[in-house]
Structure 1
Amino acid sequence: MTGPVRISSQRSTGGFTLVETLFAMVILAVGLLTVAVMQLEALSQGSAGRHTGDASATARSYLEQVQRIPWSELDGAVDAGWIAPTWIGALPSVNTTLALPNAGGPAVEHTYNITWRVTEIPDGVGNPNPCLRDVEIRVSWSEEEIANKAFDLMTRRYNWGDANC
C-alpha cells in the first residue's frame, strides 16, 4: 500500500507578476519625471546665471567709462538719484544678441537697463568733501518667472585735476 499522494500547490517563482511590473513602472516614471523637472530648472538657472554675468560685464565696462569722464559731469549728477548715463558714448540700455542658426541672423536675447548715481562723501565734520565722489552703476533686467534683478558696482572717484585736493 502506498501513502497519500501529495500534490504541490506551490507556484513557480521564476517570473514577475503583472502587479509587480506595474509598480516598478510607476516608480520608474516618477523618477524620470523628477529628473526632467530638475533638468528644466537647471536650464532656467543656467540662463539666469548667464544674464548675471552679462550684467556684471556691462557694469564693469560702464564703471571704467566713469573713470574717464570729466569731474564737472560728476558734479552735475550729484544727488540726482538713479539716472540714465548722459556722458558721450553711454547708452541707457544694452541689448545682448544671440546668433540663432535658422532665424536669419542675430536676435536680441536680453535687454539691460543702465543707471548711475553720484553721491557726495562727507568729510570728518559732516561737510561734503569737494575732492571725493561715490559713483554707483546699476544694471537691471527682468527674468522670466523671477522678480526683476539688478547688479550694482560702486567706485570712489578722486578729483586729481583740482589743486585744492
Structure 2
Amino acid sequence: MLATVIVMVVAVGGGFALNVAAQAKLLVTQGQTATILAQQQKFMDVRTVQNEVATAQAAQQVGASTEIDWSPYLAEVQAKLPASVSVTTVNVDSSSPLAIYAQSSDPTQGPRVATVVFTGETAVLPDVPSWMRSLQTLPGYVDGVAGMISLDQSTNIYTATVTIHVDERAFAKRFEPKEK
C-alpha cells in the first residue's frame, strides 16, 4: 500500500511539474507572439499600400480588357488598301468592359467586339473585292461588308464605304499579367 501511495505521489508530482513546464512554455510563446505582432504593426502601412497596388492593377486589367490600340490598327487598315486609296472618314464602335457588345442578328456575320466603318476615296474605279481580301489579314478580322460606291462627277473621285467587324484577337492586352 505504501508503494501505491509513493507511486501516486510521484505521478501527481510529475503531472504538476509537467503542467508548470507547459504553462511556462505557453507564457514564453505568448510573449513571442506579442512581440511578433508588435513588429508586424510597424509594417501595416506597407501591407495597406500593397493591397491598394493590387487593387489598382486589377482595375487596370478590367478597365483595359477591351482596349484596342486604334491608331496603329487604322494605320494598318490604310496600309492594306491600294496606294491610290485614301481613308477619309472612320467610325469605330467598340466594346466596353462594363457592357456586352451588341451582336448582329444576321447569321452571316460572326461574333465581334468592334465595328469599323470607313470611307475610302480614289481616282480610279475601286476594286472592292480586292480591298476586302486584303483586309482579311488584319488582326482580329471577323468579316467585312462593302457598302455603296459612288462617283462624284465634278471631281471624278470614287467613294466607297466598307464595314469590318473585329473580334477579341485585336485587343491590346497591355495590362494582362505576364507569364513567368
Query: For this structure pair, what is the TM-score category when the shorter chain's length is used for normalisation?
Result: 0.3 to 0.5
Bigger radius of gyration among the two = 2
TM-score, scaled relative to structure 2: 0.34
Structure with more strand by fraction: 1
